[in-house]
Chain A
């Protein structure tokens, strides 16, 4: 797939090009939004919003600054966090029945991949803070408020955990 050509076609309002990008990356985008939101309906809406942003702002993607997939997933991630904040709720692993239908109907949940295995090497208290920051969009102060940990402890644990994760990632690569 020639991403640059596809994006040029989208700038020219070629709907088929957007469809091709969806077919390539729709699964990754939906998986990420579902991971953040833990709600099928919201995840679908944010997935659609993500591709609509691509449709309307394709010219903003700069191929020299990164892969299309990373750009898409960044949009999806921030949109999902925004939606999570808007809904003013935390994601739950025990959401509506429809989520069970989703997981049960396709059976496509995969085992944790490389980074998940690396995160498992971190102390649980560090891994949990990375989870709160990355997938729930909480800042230092918000994490401290939610976990009742001192702010300094939150900063140290998050920094140490991410630093360690980065080192493990480099070593594994």
Chain B
């Protein structure tokens, strides 16, 4: 007797598959069972449909566990790891606008500032280590892509409003931006710096939060939802950890775009 057209497998094989599918969906099938399922699943539509159903059940079970609040500070610790990983294992993304391109641009901009402004010249010593590190990183990267990015990107220096030693540079291209700071005052644990993009209608859009190290150095990869066209000014305020929906603190640095 011919098997149903819906399954080229024998009825027995399909039935065996159907029996194993629940355990397979939970990854509880033994290796030989898993191999058997994966070799035959495509030829048994009933088993494939059952698998979809059990996988949805597994999704539901994962989401259904008792909810418990994560330990305090987990978010910040995660973001520190992300920043650290980004520095250690950078990658060039599609449009070569990775952090490394931003760092390269920051290095170039700082070098430009140092070269054209006697005031910054006095800071060369404090910047030397930064520039050396960045140069070393650059040597390992696609310099051609980076330089191409630099030629397209725009940048502005932000002025410290409370401390003239503050150095903040924002670099952007299209809707992506990168912020680099030095000499920012250190903050208590429960506060972060927040970058604001200020539109012509005075709407303040958060572009992210960041912290600085003991030299006041910080970086932020940022993004302007609607590009930089409507942005008139950028500013940095200190805000409660996690950031604010609108600025609550006085600006630490400001600049026109």
| A-to-B contact residues, CB < 8 Å | 9, 11-19, 22-23, 26-28, 30-32, 34-35, 40, 44, 47-48, 51-52, 55-56, 66, 69-70, 73-74, 76-78, 81, 102-103, 106, 108-110, 112-116, 130, 133-134, 137-141, 143, 155, 158-159, 162-163, 165-166, 169
Contact = CB atoms under 8 A, between A and B. Distances in A.
A51 B22 contact: no
**Chain B residues touching A, range:** 35 or more
B238 interface: no
B105 to A, nearest CB: 14
A23 B78 CA distance: 11
A77 B63 CA distance: 10
A16 B71 contact: no
B61 interface: yes
Interface in B15-64: 19-20, 22-23, 25-31, 33, 53-54, 57-64
Interface of B: 19-20, 22-23, 25-31, 33, 53-54, 57-71, 74-75, 77-79, 81-83, 85-86, 91, 93-95, 97-99, 176, 206-209, 220-223, 242
B58 A134 contact: yes
A134 B26 contact: yes
Contacts of B29: 139-140
Contacts of B95: 12
Nearest to B95: A12
A48 B81 CA distance: 8
Contact of A55 (B26, B53, B85): B85
Contacts of B26: 130, 133-134, 162
Nearest to B89: A56
B62 A12 contact: no
Contact of B59 (A9, A66, A81): A66
A17 B75 contact: no
Nearest to B86: A13
A106 B29 CA distance: 38
Contacts of A139: 23, 27-31
B78 A22 contact: yes
B81 A19 contact: no
Contacts of A108: 67-69
Contacts of A69: 63
A133 B208 CA distance: 41
Contacts of B67: 27-28, 31, 108-110
A156 B94 CA distance: 50
Contacts of A159: 19-20, 22-23
Nearest to A76: B62
Which of B71, B79, B242 has the most chain A CB atoms closer than 10 A to its own CB? B71
B66 A110 contact: yes
B103 to A, nearest CB: 11
B70 A12 contact: no
A67 B75 CA distance: 22
A102 B223 contact: no
Nearest to A55: B82
B73 to A, nearest CB: 9
5 contacts: A28-B67, A35-B65, A40-B71, A158-B23, A159-B22
A73 B94 contact: no
